[in-house]
Amino acid sequence: MENKYEVVKALIKEQLARGNIKPGEKLPSIRSASKLWDCSKNTAIRAYQELEKEHLIYSVPKSGYYAVLRPRHARKSETGWVDFTSATPDADAMPYKDFQHCLNRAIELYADQLFAYSDPQGFFTLRRALEKHLAHSRIFAPPSQICVVSGAQQALHLLASMPFPNGKSAVLVEQPTFHGMLRSLELLGVMALGIERTMAGIDLDELERHFRNNHIKFFYTVPRFHNPLGASYSEEQKKHIARLAAQYDVYIVEDDFLADMDANAKADPIYSYDQTGRVIYVKSFSKIMLPGLRLASVVLPASLTETFRLYKASCDSSTAALSQAALELYLSSGMYDHHAALVREKYRLRIQKLGECANSWLPPKVRLQVPSGGIFATMAIPDGIQPDDLITALHAQQVRVVSTEQHYLRLFPRTRGLRFSIIQTDQAKIEKGMHIVAETVANLLKRQKAGGQHVIHWV
């Protein structure tokens, strides 16, 4: 049988959720609440205290209790949609309760540090926790070479803008590649060169020609579960890249943003094969934890640490202290590893379903090569079908897909394709969406073969 305070608490939560009690609005006083819900004052106090623990209301001394809950607005327009475009983590896969506990505990433990500027390189205790965490992935580095940044994008932007010990200035990028890096290079006016990346990797002889003949400061690469291809380098390819970097004094910026999605414990990063301090390792925590916390780590060669620290300090002084303290607790408690395993399995089943559907339903002319893990895959569009036509036809059927156009340098030859992300879907939506994709592509191919014109009306 429920306690009376639990009944009162449930009634108040219902009113908060419905918006009957609006954010910032004062709740009934304890005396009024006891009359309103026919309970004792102690019961009303207990209900309010429990709601305050859940951060749904807050108290103001000598004033009363106030609502802080923001009502959830149902996204009615999204009902029925299949979204293959988003790279934002599934809200249902986020560890809200666990991380809330870490935030509360961090406030208790680090109250004296949360309201002052911290080290631009990050909390030392967090960097020590990151040292242990990264060692599991064969990233061995002392805290002095680890920097905490406000998201991986900040790290990439700073690396693109700062000088390197090799005195070189151009940046080599895979084509296609992460559009956020391309945006930073363009905004900074950095000379960017491209090298083709396919599901099989890159031409290592061409990579060597670039390293030998061009003024390459660093080569930016996403070796594991590439964005947008979804592909990963082989062990031999990673070793070869590390050897070339040492031979030609070129740095490697290794963006391992989906490291935690890899079920293969033997899939080591390029960093683990670096013998000469030429690899910079960037790891984001956004795909496992709450992306709004803006947390990532960078492992730097000793030759770059001070320069990076200077540029980081001039950018934002320091990364948010509360987020850092909470991440330290989340890592040290084992919560991160536990949650990563759950998310990894969830996304593995989704990417597996995408591959099964693609193999079963797509026309023979259409290739969607799906990796064994990660969140991305790219579908090559057959000649005769315009990407915009296909995207618009799918949008009209409540399926969102996005072109790979934004993943290329302006003048680099490109393969026409669509990027598929499974992160905001589930297996049922993937099956539904791929049915529609397969039927739509097949219809466009039939019209093409018949020589008819198909006019797409923009929606």
| Whether the model pTM is above 0.75 | yes
Q: Is residue 119 part of a domain?
A: yes
Question: Is 199 in the same domain as 262?
Answer: yes
Question: Is 343 in the same domain as 300?
Answer: no
CATH number of the domain to which 17 belongs: 1.10.10.10
Structure tokens belonging to residue 451: 């020589």
Of 285, 309, 333, which closes a domain?
333
Question: Is 442 in the same domain as 343?
Answer: yes
Confidence check: pLDDT of 76 > 50? no
Give the model confidence (pLDDT) of 304-315 as tens digits: 999 999 999 998
The pLDDT, as a whole number, for residue 69 is 54
Per-residue confidence band for 456, with pLDDT thresholds at 50, 70 and 90 = very low
Q: Rg for the chain (alpha carbons), in Å? A: 26
Of 15, 46, 67, which closes a domain?
67
Per-residue confidence band for 382, with pLDDT thresholds at 50, 70 and 90 = confident
Q: Nearest to residue 6, comparing CAs of 44, 38, 32?
A: 44
Give the model confidence (pLDDT) of 107-128 as tens digits: 777 777 766 667 889 889 999 9
Give the model confidence (pLDDT) of 186-221 as tens digits: 999 999 999 999 999 999 999 999 999 999 999 999
CATH number of the domain to which 128 belongs: 3.40.640.10
Question: Is 237 in the same domain as 272?
Answer: yes
For 386, residues 6+ apart whose C-beta sits below 8 A from its C-beta are: none
Q: Is residue 458 part of a domain?
A: no
Question: Is 251 in the same domain as 399?
Answer: no
Q: Is residue 83 part of a domain?
A: no
Question: Is 103 in the same domain as 54?
Answer: no
Question: Is 150 in the same domain as 222?
Answer: yes
Q: Nearest to residue 218, comparing CAs of 185, 179, 196?
A: 185
Residues spanned by the domain of 165 = 96-333
CB 348 within 8 A of CB 374: no
- Number of domain units in the chain: 3
SS3 track for the chain: CCCHHHHHHHHHHHHHHHCCCCCCCECCCHHHHHHHCCCCHHHHHHHHHHHHHCCCEEEECCCEEEECCCCCCCCHHHCCCEECCCCCCCHHHCCHHHHHHHHHHHHHHHCCCCCCCCCCCCCHHHHHHHHHHHHCCCCCCCHHHEEEECCHHHHHHHHHHCCCCCCCCEEEEEECCCHHHHHHHHHHCCCEEEEECECCECCHHHHHHHHHHCCEEEEEECCCCCCCCCCCCCHHHHHHHHHHHHHHCCEEEEECCCHHHCCCCCCCCHHHHCCCCCEEEEEECCCCCCHHHCCEEEECCHHHHHHHHHHHHHHHCCCCHHHHHHHHHHHHCCHHHHHHHHHHHHHHHHHHHHHHHHHHHCCCCCEEECCCCCCEEEEECCCCCCHHHHHHHHHCCCEECEECHHHCCCCCCCCCEEEEECCCCCHHHHHHHHHHHHHHHHHHHHHHHHCCCCCCCCC
Question: Is 161 in the same domain as 125?
Answer: yes
For 176, residues 6+ apart whose C-beta sits below 8 A from its C-beta are: 197, 228, 229, 404, 407, 408, 414, 415
The pLDDT, as a whole number, for residue 227 is 95
DSSP letters, 422-433, are -TT--HHHHHHH
Q: Is residue 91 part of a domain?
A: no
Confidence check: pLDDT of 384 > 90? no
Q: Is residue 346 part of a domain?
A: yes
Q: What are phi and psi of 310, to 5 degrees?
A: -65, -45
Q: Is residue 455 part of a domain?
A: no
Query: Cα dihedral sign for 207, 208, 214, 218?
Result: positive
Q: Is residue 456 part of a domain?
A: no
CATH number of the domain to which 341 belongs: 3.90.1150.10
Question: Is 322 in the same domain as 184?
Answer: yes
The pLDDT, as a whole number, for residue 35 is 87
pLDDT, the chain, mean: 88
Question: Is 353 in the same domain as 324?
Answer: no
The pLDDT, as a whole number, for residue 185 is 97
